[in-house]
Amino acid sequence: MATGLVRLICPNLLCRSMLSVSESMRGKEVICKACGNRVVVPLKSKESNPLAVVPPKEEKSS
Ligand SMILES: [Zn+2]
């Protein structure tokens, strides 16, 4: 379970390439292969879309 891949999208609006990097790269910078832009790998992101904010699960108490 230690060797997962982190998918992120290049922040370069002219590129927007999907990058797949090793989880060991979390918190570090990677270079986009398509445009050469530096991309910081987020420490934790369950969703592939970093802009998506997932609210915590609410317990229904009715
Ligand atoms: Zn790029």
CA of 54 to the centre of ligand 1 (A): 25
Walk along the chain (62 residues) and give the pLDDT tens digit of each residue.
557 899 999 999 999 999 999 999 999 999 999 999 999 998 875 555 555 556 777 788 77
Residue 47 lies in a domain: no
For 17, the token pair is: 């390439």
Residue 51 lies in a domain: no
DSSP 8-state assignment for residue 51: T
pTM over 0.85: no
CA of 50 to the centre of ligand 1 (A): 15
Give the chain's domain count. 1
Residue 21 lies in a domain: yes
Residue 25 lies in a domain: yes
Residue 57 lies in a domain: no
For residues 18 and 38, the answer to whether their CB atoms sit within 8 Å is no
The answer to whether the Cα torsion of 26, 31, 35, 37 is positive or negative is positive
For ligand 1, a single-atom ion, which residues have Cβ within 5 Å? 10, 12, 15, 17, 32, 34-35, 37
CA of 47 to the centre of ligand 1 (A): 19
CA of 8 to the centre of ligand 1 (A): 10
Question: DSSP assignment of 2-47, as one string?
Answer: ---EEEEE-S-TTT--EEEEEGGGTTSEEE-TTT--EEEPPS--SS
